[in-house]
Amino acid sequence: MKILLLEDDFTLADIISEYFKKLSYDTTIVYAGNDAQELLYSDKFDLLIFDINVPQLNGLKILQEFREAGFKTPIIFISASTNISDFKIAYENGGNDFIRKPFKLEELKIRIEYIKEMFNIQSKKILTINKNIQFNLKNMSIIKDLLEVKLPKKEAEIIKYLLLNKNRLISIDELIINIWDYSKEPSIATIRTYIKNIRKILNDSSLETIKGLGYMLKIA
């Protein structure tokens, strides 16, 4: 599921994005209205999650113009506003839901699940690594030259995390925090062994080691 998140609070945006990664949602974050508006017409999203009072261009104004252009992509507003007119304008302009800040992430998840059901949005279960290899999120397996190959548990978990964070530097500490239990923290040598195994599985140079910093899965 591909989501565009417009939120000018950097901390909240990061918290939501990290939560969405665990749900296997592909999230693009923007912090200003103009950036959101530009992406709406240059890319395709399954769901929009917008704050209202953001820099440059108000979230309600973006929605109004988007709907007038004929687009039906569902949208959930998240806002600290207590102004009833904001609620009214949001729904009149084609908003699908409204969550008042502060809110629990579980509540946001429930609202998203409802939107998915209402609009028959299917979460993307197959992610492309390169022209010959794909990753099945549901089965945690590799599809290589049209054949599905089961993976060892840890290699699969690492590939999934790198894929959901593609083209971003992932430190060893970040991998440990997100893949291993606190009581089972691996050694650096163990992690290097897993990375070596993954390179053999992928059979290409897309997984790069950034010396002294971590790893990056580069995907065009």
In a domain? residue 41: yes
Given this model, what pLDDT does residue 124 score?
Answer: 66
| 39 falls within a domain | yes
DSSP at 142: E
Q: Work out the end-to-end distance of the chain between its first and last CA atoms, rounded to an integer number of angstroms.
A: 19
Domain assignment present for 51: yes
Query: Is pLDDT larger for residue 193 or for residue 120?
Result: 193
Structure confidence at residue 195 (pLDDT)? 94
209: part of which helix (H) or strand (E)? Answer: strand 207-210
| C-beta of residue 162 within 8 angstroms of C-beta of residue 137 | no
Task: Quote the number of domains for the chain.
Answer: 2
Report CA-CA distances (Å) from 52 to 55, 65, 95.
9, 14, 12
CATH number reported for the structural domain that contains residue 32 in this entry: 3.40.50.2300
pTM over 0.85: no
Same domain? For 113 and 180 the reply is: no
Domain match, 162 and 91 both: no
Host domain of residue 18? 2-119
Is 171 contained in some domain? yes
Give the containing element (helix H, strand E) for 25.
none
In a domain, 11, yes or no: yes
pLDDT tens per residue, range 187-212: 999 999 999 999 998 887 789 999 98
Both 211 and 115 in a single domain? no
Residue scoring higher pLDDT (144 or 76): 76
Measured distance CA(135)–CA(69) in Å, rounded: 36
The β-bridge relationship of strands 75-79 and 47-50 is parallel
Beta strands in 80-198 (DSSP E): 97-100, 126-128, 133-136, 141-144, 147-150, 170-171
Same domain, 159 and 78: no
CATH of the domain at 197: 1.10.10.10
Least confident segment among 120-124, 127-131, 147-151: 120-124
Domain check: are 161 and 212 in the same one?
yes
Does 162 lie in the same domain as 101? no
What is the Cα–Cα distance from 208 to 168, expressed in whole angstroms?
Answer: 11
Residue 45 lies inside a defined structural domain of this protein? yes
38 and 104 in a common domain: yes
38, 82 contact by CB (below 8 A): no
95 and 28 in a common domain: yes
113 with 166, same domain: the answer is no
Those residues whose C-beta lies under 8 Å from the C-beta of residue 163, and which sit 6 or more positions away, are: 127, 129, 135, 217, 219
In a domain? residue 23: yes
Note the pLDDT tens digit of each residue in 76-111. 999 998 888 888 888 888 999 999 999 999 999 999
User: Residue 127 falls within a domain, yes or no?
Assistant: no
> Which of 119, 142, 175 represents a domain boundary (last residue)?
119
Same domain, 112 and 177: no
